[in-house]
A = this chain, B = another copy of it.
Amino acid sequence: MRIQTFAQYNKKRFGTHLMSQTVIVVDVLRATSSIIWACRNGANRVIPVSDAGEGAAIATRLGGCIMAGERGGVKLPGFDLGNSPKEFAPEVVKDRNIIINTTNGTGAIKAAEGAANVLIAAMLNHDAAARKAAALGLDVTILCAGTDGEFSADDICAAGAIASSLCKYADVTEQCDLTWAAKVLYGEWKAGRADLSQTYHYTRLLELGFGEDVEFCLQENITEVVPLYTNGIAHA
């Protein structure tokens, strides 16, 4: 298996070469963490959308959807939920359809659409995500959402966690330098030698009052649920 990692998504770069790959999309703070948590708590379907118009059109067609989303970390006006994983509690999401629209994560998921398989991962499920990807047998691309088009330390640490787990479950014959770096950074974070609290997205969410979310999202492997994204829909 070959592993490549991208620090941010760029629609132009993701063409037909993903067709034969499993893409693992990561947006630790917070979109993929929220989607995982919604699926774990029994949501029927989670539909990531990139713009409000698309979300409204799907909501009208399906009826009875929960609308979730944020811009710049803050809940969109008139929406039912923001983008805090804990909002997606069982009593709120069980058997419901959720439309989610976030600054970075939903765009990354949609950028992966051409892939053979798209898995939704974060710190919360990295080991299970790696096991599922290994079982699928294809080369893996780890696609980090990044923050506003830039390298985001939290996503890269999670990418390193996934890549480290993949090395346990599959015969990794090749990895790109960013995968190498991500594994080193994850190891350092685990060992307490790399302090994510110095990094941009972490700091910004703390300033916005989402410290509890950050703490929640940095928990490792608290669920085995790895949502699969097919035909525009993420489900457990």
Which residues of A come within 8 Å of B, CB atoms?
7, 147, 150-153, 156, 176-178, 180-181, 184-185, 187-188, 193-194, 198-201
Cβ-defined contact, B156 with A181, below 8 A: yes
Could you write out 6 A-B pairs with CB less than 8 Å apart?
Answer: A151-B181, A152-B177, A156-B177, A156-B181, A180-B198, A184-B188
Q: How many angstroms from the CA of A184 to the CA of B200 in the assembled complex?
A: 15
- A198: chain B residues at CB < 8 Å are 180
Which residue from B151, B176, B187 sits with its C-beta under 8 Å from A177? Answer: B151
Which residue from B178, B188, B201 sits with its C-beta under 8 Å from A151? Answer: B178
Q: How many angstroms from the CA of A178 to the CA of B178 in the assembled complex?
A: 11
- A151: chain B residues at CB < 8 Å are 7, 176-178, 181
- A194: chain B residues at CB < 8 Å are 184
- A177: chain B residues at CB < 8 Å are 147, 150-153, 156, 199-201
Closest-CB distance, A98 to chain B (whole angstroms): 29
- A150: chain B residues at CB < 8 Å are 176-178
- A176: chain B residues at CB < 8 Å are 150-151, 200
Q: How many angstroms from the CA of A176 to the CA of B152 in the assembled complex?
A: 9
Q: How many angstroms from the CA of A143 to the CA of B151 in the assembled complex?
A: 14
Known contacts A153-B177, A176-B150, A176-B151; A193/B200 CB under 8 A: no
Q: How many angstroms from the CA of A150 to the CA of B147 in the assembled complex?
A: 19
Q: How many angstroms from the CA of A153 to the CA of B185 in the assembled complex?
A: 12
Q: How many angstroms from the CA of A156 to the CA of B7 in the assembled complex?
A: 14
The residue on B at minimum CB distance from A154 is B177
